[in-house]
């Protein structure tokens, strides 16, 4: 059975430079960093992030999660996370496998597996860190090995991905996956509002409107939204706005006031204040710093 060092070796073969790397497998991406990185915003979609080498930290609201080789982070819903590589070097780069989760495949597996005992309360938070059992690591190695054979990949990748999902369902992440796969669970309802916010974050919206999308009362919606994401609905929207404004200033050269307006802020002073709270510096100073160190360096 292959181990975590074998997984690191597999990733090293296909991720020779720092950054994210798409692969021939549609749901699989690889990440590499030869040095620690500053905390940077990252939009985590439903995915498994399995570290093979190095260490990583993810922060969402007041929640701070660290994970290391042999551990994985699972994001069950779309979340605006601050992420940073905390341990990496040229001799031992940070390596991570990211597997995007197929909700339909998860739901299909849940339907074939008897439900766990009803005495266990449903999970709340949409991020979890857990140990990667040897069977999960072995399956991840076999999945990456398919990158060397296109014909095998076409036939076998869906089967191994299904095995990985099965392993996750039998792991500490299982309850949250089951909860998300249930179409009428609180988490699934919250995700309807999350999807709307990700598409329309620049628009003015009330909590009442978002609650209606989720089919909940405003008070219940606020409670469950914060339980799943770690943020209030409006703070979640603010995080999306600020991440996009940062990208517009850094990548497209927009001035701070213009970037703030583009993402939905009518007040430059409010934009600057919230930006400073989120990233630790006012917009102009933050972008100057990022350009000095070479831009956004977030590696999931």
H or E stretch including 30?
strand 28-33
| Rounded Cα distance, 177 and 106, in Å | 7
Q: Report whether 231 contacts 61 (CB < 8 A).
A: yes
The answer to whether 207 and 222 have CB atoms below 8 angstroms apart is yes
Which pLDDT value is given to residue 119?
Answer: 45
The predicted pLDDT at position 118 comes to 46
Q: Evaluate the CA torsion angle 211, 279, 85, 19 in order and state its sign.
A: positive
pLDDT at 127: 87
Instruction: Identify the three-state secondary structure at position 294.
Output: coil
Answer whether 258's CB lies under 8 Å from 264's CB: no
d(CA 194, CA 235): 12
- Which pLDDT value is given to residue 116? 60
Per-residue pLDDT of the chain (300 residues; tens, 9 = 90+): 899 999 999 999 999 999 999 999 999 999 999 999 888 878 888 999 999 999 999 988 778 899 999 999 999 888 888 889 999 999 999 999 999 998 888 888 888 876 665 445 445 578 899 999 999 999 999 999 999 888 888 899 999 999 999 999 989 888 888 877 776 677 778 888 999 999 999 999 999 999 999 999 999 999 989 888 888 999 999 999 999 999 999 889 999 999 999 999 999 999 999 999 988 899 999 999 888 876 555 554
Backbone angles phi, psi at 35, to 5 degrees: -155, 155
Per DSSP, the three-state class of 135 is helix
**Terminal-to-terminal C-alpha distance of the chain:** 26
User: What is the structure's pLDDT at 89?
Assistant: 96
Cα(238)–Cα(202) distance, rounded to whole angstroms? Answer: 9
Helix (H, G, I), strand (E, B) or coil at 24: coil
* Residue 77 Cα distances to 20, 27, 101, 208, angstroms: 20, 16, 10, 21
| Sign of the torsion angle spanned by Cα atoms 222, 224, 227, 230 | negative
Residues 26, 100: Cα–Cα separation, whole Å? 9
Which CATH number describes the domain made up of 4-181? Answer: 2.60.120.280
Burial class (CB in 10 A: 0-12, 13-18, 19+), 250: middle
Question: Which two three-digit tokens encode residue 236?
Answer: 């979640």
State the architecture of 235-293 in CATH terms: Orthogonal Bundle (1.10)
pLDDT at 132: 95
Structural domain spans, the chain: 4-181, 186-230, 235-293
pLDDT given for residue 294 in this prediction: 61
The CA-CA-CA angle for residues 248, 96, 58, to 5°, reads 55
Q: Quick check: do 4-181 and 235-293 share a fold?
A: no
Provide the pLDDT for residue 186: 77
């Amino acid at each position: 059975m292959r181990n975590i060092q074998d997984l690191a070796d597999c990733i090293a073969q296909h991720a020779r430079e720092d950054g994210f790397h798409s692969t021939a497998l549609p749901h699989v991406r690889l990440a590499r960093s030869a040095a620690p990185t500053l905390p940077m915003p990252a939009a985590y979609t439903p995915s498994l992030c399995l570290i093979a080498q190095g260490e990583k930290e993810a922060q969402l609201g007041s929640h701070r999660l660290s994970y290391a080789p042999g551990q994985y982070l699972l994001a069950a819903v779309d979340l605006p996370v601050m992420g940073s590589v905390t341990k990496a070097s040229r001799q031992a780069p940070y390596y991570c496998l990211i597997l995007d989760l197929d909700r339909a495949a998860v739901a299909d597996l849940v339907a074939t597996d008897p439900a766990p005992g009803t005495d266990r309360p449903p999970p709340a938070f949409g991020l979890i860190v857990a140990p990667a059992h040897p069977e999960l690591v072995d399956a991840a190695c076999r999945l990456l090995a398919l990158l060397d054979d296109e014909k095998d990949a076409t036939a076998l990748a869906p089967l191994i991905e299904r095995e990985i999902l099965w392993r996750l369902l039998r792991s500490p992440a299982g309850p949250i996956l089951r909860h998300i796969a249930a179409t009428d669970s609180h988490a699934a309802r919250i995700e309807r509002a999350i999807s709307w916010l990700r598409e329309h974050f620049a628009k003015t919206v009330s909590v009442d409107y978002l609650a209606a999308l989720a089919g909940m009362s405003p008070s219940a919606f606020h409670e469950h939204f914060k339980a799943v994401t770690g943020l209030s609905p409006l703070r979640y929207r603010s995080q999306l706005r600020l991440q996009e404004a940062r990208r517009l200033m850094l990548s497209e050269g927009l001035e701070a006031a213009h970037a703030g307006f583009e993402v939905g802020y009518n007040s430059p002073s409010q934009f600057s204040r919230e930006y400073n709270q989120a990233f630790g510096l006012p917009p102009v100073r933050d972008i100057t710093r990022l350009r000095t160190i070479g831009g956004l360096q977030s590696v999931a």
